[in-house]
């Protein structure tokens, strides 16, 4: 594995750790603690957190897409030529990731169209955590499929 491929893989995994861990923290640590605050204080805290978290979400999605496409197209695709299962799993993983990116963007955004999602943010954060777990599971299966070429 060359240096660019290694950095790309580390970037992909590191981004997942930050974003999934951050979502877990928001859902299971910050939200319950913030719920104990007065409404005005709760709203002030939520706005401040989301303003900062939005930068990580948008930057993370960009890093995921760049590193993921590089890892798939340059590193893995040539190694798994003709393996329908591998490429089908990648397709499923990619579609689930797009759904996850959509939910994450909707939760940090300001569009009135997604206000209902933001009001029920704890539910959607849980959905995101479950989607991320499924994506990681698919990745584990993909990693265990031996390459056709070396």
CA distance 33 to 86: 42
Read off the pLDDT of residues 30-48 as tens digits, 9 standing for 90 and up: 999 999 999 999 999 999 9
Read off the pLDDT of residues 35-81 as tens digits, 9 standing for 90 and up: 999 999 999 999 999 999 999 999 999 999 999 999 999 999 999 99
Q: How confident is residue 150, by pLDDT bands cut at 50, 70 and 90?
A: low
CA distance 118 to 104: 10
Q: For every residue of 93-147, which 3-state class applies, written as one string?
A: HHHHHHHHHHHHHHHHCCCHHHHHHHHCHHHHHHHHHHHHHHHHHHHHHHHHCCC
Provide the percentage of residues in the chain whose pLDDT is more than 90: 98
């Amino acid at each position: 594995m060359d240096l660019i491929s290694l950095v790309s893989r580390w970037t992909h995994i590191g981004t997942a750790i930050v974003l999934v861990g951050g979502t877990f923290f928001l859902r299971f640590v910050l939200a319950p603690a913030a719920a104990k605050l007065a409404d005005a204080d709760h709203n002030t805290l939520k706005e401040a957190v989301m303003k900062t978290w939005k930068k990580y979400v948008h930057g993370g999605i960009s890093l995921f897409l760049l590193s993921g496409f590089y890892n798939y197209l340059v590193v893995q695709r040539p190694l798994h030529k003709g393996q329908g299962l591998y490429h089908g799993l990648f397709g499923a993983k990619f579609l689930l990731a797009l759904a996850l990116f959509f939910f994450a963007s909707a939760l940090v955004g300001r569009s009135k169209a997604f206000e209902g999602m933001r009001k029920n943010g704890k539910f959607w954060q849980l959905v995101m955590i479950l989607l991320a777990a499924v994506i990681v599971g698919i990745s584990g299966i993909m990693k265990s499929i031996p390459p056709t070429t070396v």
